[in-house]
C-alpha cells in the first residue's frame, strides 16, 4: 500500500506527483464549484504549510544561536578551569614538600609526645576525681541532678577499682555521702503536689541509675500519681455545675491525659526498660509491676466513670449531651491501649446507654407532667363551664387532651434521634442500638408513657364517693382512650419503630410489647371510665330521688296538683348529660325507631292491674299480687350495673336504670297514703313522658316505672289511683 501511494502521480504529497495529470483528473471528475472549493482548500493548506515551515525555520535558527552562545561560554569557562587546575597542582606540590620537612624534623620527638599525651590524659582523670565531690555538690545545689548522676556513674568505675588506696578512700566516702543526700532530694519529688509527671519520671530514672530498689520506687511512684489523679477528680467534681462539654474536655485534657502520661512513664521506667537495666530487677518483677499498674488504672478509671455517670444524668439539652458523650467515647477508645485486659469502650457504652436512659426518663417525666397539667387545665375548664353551657366545648377539650400529647411525643422522638447520628463514635455499636432503641426509647419511653396513660385513666375509677373532679372528665378520658386504641397507639408505635429501626435492632418479637396488648389496655380503660361515669351520674341523680322520697311525709300528703320539682330536675340533668355525651359519642349503634305516640302511653299497671278503689287487701288482690310476682320470676332480668356500650343511648340507658332502680328501692321502704300514691303516679308518668327518648329500649323505662308504681301500690294504705286523663293534664301543665 505504501509503494502504491508513493508511486501515485495523483498523490499531492507523494514524490511522483504530476500536476498536469492531477489537474486533468480534477477537471474530469469535479464540477466548477467543487474545483473552486478544492482550490480554496489547497490554497489554505499551502498557506498553513508555509507558516509552519517558517515557524520551524525560526525555531531552529534560535536554537542554533543559543547553541553557539553555549559553545562560546564553555570555551571561556574551560580556559579559566585550566588555569585553576595548574594553580592547584603547584599548591599541592608545595604542601607535600612542607609535610616531608615536618616529618623529618619531628621524627625523634614523636614517641616522647605520645607519652606526654598519655600522662596528660591520666592527670585530667585524676583531677576530675579530686574535684568530683565539689562538682557533685554544685550540681545538686543547681538541681542539675541528671548531670550529677552521670558524673558519679562515670567516676564510679575508677573509684571501685582504686577504692583500696588511701588517697581515693576519702573521695569515695565523700561521694557516697553526697549521693545519698541527692537520693533523698530526688525522693522528695514524690511528695511535691506541684511536681509534674515528667519530673517524677526523671527522678525515678535517676534513682534507678543509682541502684535504688525498683519495687520501692514503683510503689512510691504510683502512690504519688494516685494523689495527683485524686486532685484532678476533685477539680472535676467542682465543675459538675459547668457545661457538660467543658466538663468532658476537662476530664480528657486533665485526668485522662495525666493518667496516660503516668502509665506511659511507668511502663518506660519499670516494664519496658532495656535488657541491661533489667538485670537490676527480680525475675517476677515484670508480672508484679504490670499487675500493680492494672489495679491502679482500674481503680482510678472506676472513680472517673462514676463521676461521669452522675454528671451526664442532669443535661437538659440532648444535642449538647450527645456531643459530649461522643467526645467522651472517642477518648475512651484511645484509652484501651492502657490496660490490655479491659475494654473501656464497653464501659463507655454502658455510660452512654445510661445517659440515654436518663434522658428517656426525663422525657417520660416531662410527658407525665404535661399530662398532669393538661388534665388539671381540662378539669378547671370543666368546673368553670358546668353552669354556663351544656357540653362545655367538649370536642375542643378532647382535642386538647390528645393532640398536644401526640405532638409532644413526636417532638421527643425527634429529639432522641440525635443519639443515632452515623458519625457518632458510639452510634453504630450493636449493643448500644439494641439497648437504647428497643429498651429505652420504645419500651421505656413510649410504652411506659402509654402504660402511665392507662394507669392515670384507671386511677379516676376508684370509689363511688363524691369525686373531686367533674364527672364529665371521665367521659373525656374514655373518649381519649378510645382514640388512642383506634389510631394513636398504632401511629406512635409505628413512628417509633420506623424512626429507630426497632424491627432490625430487636432480638425477637418477645422483646417488644405488642400493639394489640396496648390497645387492649386502652379498651379496658375506656370501658372502665365510661362505666364509672355512668355510675357516678346515676348516683348523682339517685341521690336527688332518694332524698326526695326519704324527706317527704307520704302519709300526710295533699292531693297532687303538679309534678314534684325533683322530677323536673331529674329530666333537666339527664338532658344536660345527653348534650355532653352527644358531643363525644354518636348514637349510630343505639338508634331505634320510636313511635311518636310513645309519650302518650299510660302504665299497664294503671289500666289492667289495679282497680280504682282499694278498700282493703282482699283474696283477689293477694292472688293478683302473687301472679305478678310469679311473672317477674320468669321475665328477663334487668342488669342495672352492666357495662355500657360506646354510644349515647347505651350511656343514658345505664344512668336512667341506676336512677330508677334507686327510686324503686326507696319507694319499697316507705308507706304511702292515697294522695302519696297518686303523687308517685303523677311523678312516674312525667318521667315516662320524657325519659323514653333517651334510651335505646323504651320498654325498659316502662317496666321500671311500672315497678315503682306497683311497689307504691303495695305500700299504700288506701291504694286508689287517679284517672289517666287527670294525670295527663297535670303532667302537660308542667
Lowest mean pLDDT among 496-500, 512-516, 588-592, 712-716: 588-592
Confidence of residue 195 (pLDDT cuts 50, 70, 90): low
The pLDDT of residue 572: 92
Contact status, residue 577 vs residue 585, Cβ threshold 8 Å: no
* Domains of the chain by residue range: 32-131, 345-513, 538-586+622-733
**What is the pLDDT confidence band of residue 450, given thresholds at 50, 70 and 90?**
very high
Q: If you ran DSSP here, which 8-state letter would residue 670 be given?
A: -
> What mean pLDDT comes out for the span 79-96?
82
Average pLDDT, integer, range 144-155: 72
Cβ atoms of 335 and 296 within 8 Å: the answer is: no
87: pLDDT strictly greater than 60: yes
CA dihedral 244, 245, 250, 256 (to 10 degrees): 100
Output the 3-class SS for 675-687.
HHHHHHHHHHHHH
pLDDT at 409: 93
Residue owning grid cell 283474696: 619
Is the pLDDT reported for residue 688 higher than 70?
yes
State pLDDT tens for residues 655-667: 999 999 999 999 9
Residue range 372-388, pLDDT digits in tens: 999 989 888 888 765 44
Which pLDDT does position 1 carry in this prediction? 43
Q: Report the C-alpha gap between 444 and 354 in whole angstroms.
A: 12
Residues 6+ apart with CB under 8 A from 105: none
Measured distance CA(148)–CA(622) in Å, rounded: 132
Structure confidence at residue 131 as a pLDDT band (50, 70, 90): low
Task: Please state, in angstroms and rounded to a whole number, the distance separating the CA atoms of residues 622 and 629.
Answer: 11
Tell me the mean pLDDT in the region 164-171: 63
* For residues 321-331, average pLDDT: 87
* Res. 528 pLDDT band, cuts 50 70 90: very high
Distance CA 688, CA 701 (A): 7
Question: pLDDT exceeding 90 applies to what percent of the chain?
Answer: 19
pLDDT score recorded for residue 116 = 61
pLDDT confidence bin for 472, thresholds 50/70/90: confident
Distance separating alpha carbons of residues 533 and 721, to the nearest angstrom: 37
Provide the pLDDT confidence category of residue 520 given band limits of 50, 70 and 90: very high
DSSP 439-484: IIIIIIIIIHHHHHHHHHHHHTTS-SSPPSS-THHHHHHHHHHHHI
- pLDDT of res. 519: 93
The pLDDT, as a whole number, for residue 193 is: 60
Cα(591)–Cα(697) distance, integer angstroms: 10
Backbone angles phi, psi at 716, to 5 degrees: -100, 140
**How far apart are alpha carbons 440 and 360 in whole angstroms?**
7
- List, for residues 544-573, the tens digit of each pLDDT value: 999 999 999 999 989 998 999 999 999 999
User: Which set of grid coordinates corresponds to residue 226?
Assistant: 494516685
Burial class (CB in 10 A: 0-12, 13-18, 19+), 456: middle
Amino acid 585: pLDDT: 83
In this model, does residue 629 exceed pLDDT 70? no
Sign of the four-CA dihedral 698, 700, 701, 706: positive
Which range, of 60-64, 173-177, 281-285, averages the lowest pLDDT? 281-285
Kindly tell me if the per-residue pLDDT of 399 is higher than 80.
Answer: yes
CA–CA gap between residue 684 and residue 560 (Å, rounded): 13
178 vs 577 pLDDT, higher one: 577
Whether the full predicted model's pTM is greater than 0.75, yes or no, is: no
Give the CA radius of gyration of the chain: 56
User: Which pLDDT score, from 0 to 100, does residue 490 have?
Assistant: 92
Neighbour-count burial for 501-536, b at 16+ CB within 10 Å, e otherwise: ebeebbeeeeebbeeeebbebbbebbbbbbbbbbbb
What span, in angstroms and rounded, lies between the C-alpha atoms of 214 and 370?
A: 64
Residue 612 pLDDT class (50, 70, 90 cuts): very low
CB 482 within 8 A of CB 526: yes
Mean pLDDT of 235-240: 80
What local confidence, expressed as pLDDT, does residue 522 receive? 93
Would you say residue 603 has pLDDT above 80?
Answer: no
Confidence bin at 367 (pLDDT 50/70/90): very high
Evaluated on CA atoms 314, 316, 317, 322, the torsion sign reads positive
In whole numbers, what is the pLDDT of the chain averaged over residues? Answer: 78
Alpha carbon distance 458, 532 (integer Å): 10
694/591 Cα distance (integer angstroms): 10
Picking from 523, 511, 507, 514, the residue whose alpha carbon sits closest to that of residue 493 is 514
Q: Is the pLDDT of residue 57 over 90?
A: no
SS3 sequence of 345-409: HHHHHHHHHHHHHHHHHHHHHHHHHHHHHHHHHHHHHHHHHCCCCCCCCHHHHHHHHHHHHHHHH
Amino acid at each position: 500500500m505504501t509503494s502504491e501511494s508513493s508511486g501515485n502521480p495523483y498523490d499531492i504529497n507523494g514524490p511522483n506527483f504530476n500536476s498536469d495529470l492531477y489537474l486533468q483528473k480534477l477537471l474530469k471528475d469535479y464540477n466548477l464549484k467543487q474545483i473552486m472549493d478544492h482550490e480554496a482548500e489547497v490554497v489554505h493548506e499551502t498557506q498553513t504549510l508555509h507558516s509552519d515551515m517558517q515557524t520551524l525555520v525560526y525555531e531552529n535558527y534560535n536554537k542554533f544561536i543559543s547553541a553557539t552562545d553555549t559553545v562560546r561560554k564553555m570555551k571561556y569557562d574551560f580556559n579559566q578551569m585550566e588555569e585553576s587546575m595548574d594553580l592547584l597542582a603547584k599548591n599541592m606540590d608545595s604542601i607535600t614538600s612542607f609535610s616531608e620537612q615536618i616529618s623529618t624534623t619531628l621524627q625523634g620527638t614523636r614517641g616522647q609526645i605520645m607519652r606526654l599525651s598519655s600522662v596528660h590524659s591520666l592527670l585530667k582523670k585524676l583531677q576530675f576525681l579530686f574535684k568530683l565531690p565539689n562538682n557533685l555538690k554544685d550540681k545538686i545545689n543547681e538541681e542539675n541532678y541528671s548531670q550529677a548522676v552521670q558524673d558519679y556513674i562515670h567516676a564510679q568505675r575508677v573509684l571501685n577499682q582504686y577504692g583500696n588506696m588511701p588517697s581515693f578512700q576519702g573521695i569515695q566516702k565523700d561521694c557516697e555521702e553526697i549521693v545519698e543526700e541527692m537520693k533523698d532530694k530526688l525522693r522528695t519529688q514524690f511528695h511535691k503536689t506541684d511536681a509534674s509527671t515528667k519530673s517524677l519520671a526523671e527522678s525515678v530514672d535517676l534513682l534507678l541509675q543509682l541502684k535504688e530498689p525498683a519495687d520501692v520506687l514503683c510503689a512510691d511512684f504510683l502512690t504519688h500519681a494516685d494523689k495527683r489523679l485524686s486532685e484532678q477528680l476533685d477539680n472535676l467534681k467542682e465543675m459538675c455545675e459547668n457545661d457538660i462539654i467543658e466538663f468532658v474536655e476537662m476530664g480528657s485534657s486533665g485526668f485522662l491525659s495525666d493518667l496516660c502520661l503516668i502509665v506511659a512513664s511507668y511502663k518506660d521506667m519499670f516494664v519496658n526498660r532495656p535488657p541491661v537495666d533489667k538485670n537490676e530487677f527480680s525475675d517476677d518483677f515484670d508480672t508484679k509491676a504490670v499487675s500493680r499498674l492494672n489495679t491502679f488504672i482500674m481503680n482510678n478509671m472506676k472513680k472517673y466513670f462514676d463521676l461521669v455517670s452522675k454528671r451526664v444524668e442532669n443535661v437538659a439539652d440532648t444535642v449538647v449531651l450527645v456531643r459530649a458523650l461522643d467526645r467522651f467515647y472517642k477518648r475512651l477508645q484511645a484509652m484501651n491501649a492502657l490496660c490490655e485486659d479491659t475494654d473501656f469502650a464497653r464501659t463507655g457504652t454502658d455510660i452512654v446507654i445510661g445517659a440515654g436512659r436518663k434522658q428517656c426518663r426525663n422525657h417520660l417525666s416531662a410527658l407525665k407532667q404535661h399530662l398532669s397539667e393538661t388534665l388539671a387545665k381540662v378539669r378547671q375548664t370543666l368546673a368553670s363551664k358546668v353552669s354556663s353551657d351544656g357540653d362545655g366545648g367538649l370536642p375542643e377539650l378532647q382535642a386538647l387532651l390528645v393532640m398536644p400529647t401526640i405532638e409532644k411525643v413526636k417532638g421527643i422522638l425527634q429529639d432522641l434521634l440525635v443519639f443515632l447520628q452515623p458519625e457518632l463514635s458510639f452510634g453504630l455499636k450493636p449493643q448500644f442500638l439494641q439497648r437504647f432503641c428497643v429498651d429505652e426509647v420504645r419500651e421505656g419511653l413510649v410504652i411506659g408513657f402509654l402504660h402511665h396513660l392507662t394507669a392515670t385513666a384507671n386511677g379516676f375509677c376508684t370509689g363511688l364517693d363524691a369525686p373531686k373532679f367533674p364527672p364529665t372528665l371521665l367521659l373525656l378520658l374514655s373518649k381519649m382512650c378510645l382514640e388512642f386504641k383506634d389510631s394513636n397507639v398504632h401511629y406512635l408505635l409505628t413512628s417509633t419503630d420506623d424512626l429507630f429501626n426497632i424491627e432490625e435492632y430487636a432480638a425477637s418479637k418477645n422483646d417488644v410489647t405488642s400493639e394489640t396488648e396496648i390497645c387492649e389496655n386502652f379498651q379496658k380503660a375506656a370501658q372502665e371510665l365510661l362505666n364509672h361515669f355512668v355510675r357516678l351520674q346515676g348516683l348523682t341523680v339517685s341521690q336527688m330521688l332518694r332524698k326526695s322520697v326519704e324527706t317527704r311525709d307520704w302519709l300526710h300528703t295533699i292531693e297532687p296538683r303538679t309534678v314534684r320539682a325533683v322530677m323536673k330536675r331529674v329530666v333537666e340533668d339527664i338532658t344536660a348529660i345527653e348534650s355532653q355525651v352527644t358531643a363525644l359519642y354518636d348514637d349510630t349503634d343505639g338508634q331505634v325507631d320510636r313511635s311518636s305516640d310513645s309519650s302518650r302511653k299510660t302504665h299497664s299497671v294503671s289500666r289492667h292491674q289495679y282497680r280504682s278503689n282499694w278498700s282493703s287487701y282482699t283474696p283477689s288482690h293477694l292472688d293478683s299480687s302473687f301472679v305478678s310476682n310469679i311473672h317477674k320470676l320468669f321475665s328477663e332480668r334487668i342488669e342495672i350495673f352492666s357495662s355500657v356500650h360506646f354510644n349515647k343511648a347505651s350511656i343514658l340507658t345505664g344512668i336512667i336504670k341506676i336512677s330508677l332502680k334507686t327510686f324503686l328501692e326507696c319507694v319499697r321502704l316507705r308507706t304511702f297514703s292515697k294522695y302519696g300514691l297518686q303523687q308517685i303516679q303523677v311523678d312516674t308518668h312525667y318521667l315516662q313522658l320524657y325519659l323514653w327518648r333517651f334510651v335505646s329500649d323504651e320498654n325498659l323505662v316502662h317496666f321500671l316505672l311500672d315497678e315503682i308504681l306497683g311497689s307504691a301500690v303495695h305500700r299504700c294504705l288506701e291504694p286508689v289511683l287517679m284517672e289517666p286523663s287527670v294525670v295527663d293534664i297535670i303532667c302537660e301543665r308542667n
